[in-house]
Structure 1
């Protein structure tokens, strides 16, 4: 059995500086991303492509989606397998190669730092990154490798 899920977002370009796109340098890449009932996200292009570094760019948002999705799948696997996660942080990185007018991501590396409740959970906590990576909807949708470099620590006794 399968289920279809549908998502909707709106993107509004807010970068018309008065003359529209009459020249490559005449417009801002500023835009707003919104969805019903959610706060807006201020977006732009990467600063390399004349974007505003104080706004999120699509490449960062793609990496954030991969990182979030892996975390949520991982926490699910831990919960149903008796691994008590007390904290989770991931400082992920992605690489993109451009050529001419195009480009593509070549890889993403997720670096989850997980703290578990007991030493007996450490090995399984590491192993569960595999199934979480396979179950991540976003990772399953991209055409580049998503690697994992997890570190698991155990909360010190108080």
Structure 2
């Protein structure tokens, strides 16, 4: 078994001079950094007093699920002899907020549109999406149901 470690730096940048004296006295802004990477400017969701121009944890959660699915799908397609020429996804997610403020994601739905080379087995290309959950590190680590509604297209041949 291989063990991989991941380290980031998370810095709150939202102290407006008086710290967290109350819920309105501070910004939710923060910066996520990792060596060798561009910083990610984050905040909370605007529904929770966040900056709408910054990434929020909920968006990053959905993004990590979609990224992991795509990367494993591409690997499985390559191993199965399916040539993918384009991949685009616009995932959606539903989060439930409970009366006391706690909550959780109810579902994440991926909507990958996959273009494969002419002659590729489209049925196999579709089935591979169902295998990704067996491998994707993120999907295997969360308890949110993750769905996908894939569209498989065939690339047009240049004349």
- TM-score (structure 1 length as normaliser): 0.97
Structure 2 distance, partners of 1:6, 1:120, is 37
TM-score with structure 2 length normalisation? Answer: 0.96
Aligned ranges for residues 6-155 of structure 1 at < 5 Å?
6-99=5-98, 100-155=100-155
Runs of 4+ in 1 over 4 A off after TM superposition: none
Number of residue pairs the alignment of both structures matches: 157
Distance in 2 between the 1:86 and 1:124 partners? 15
Shift of 1:6: 0.8
Query: Does the Cα contact within 8 Å between 2:118 and 2:157 map onto a contact in 1?
Result: no
Contiguous gaps of at least 5 residues in structure 2: none
Decide which moves more: 98-107 or 85-94.
98-107
What secondary structure, in the 3-state scheme, does the structure 1 residue paired with 2:35 have? coil
Structure 1, gaps ≥5 residues long: none
Q: Deviation per CA, 1:45-97, whole angstroms, max 9, x where unpaired? A: 00000000000000000000000000000000011111000000000011100
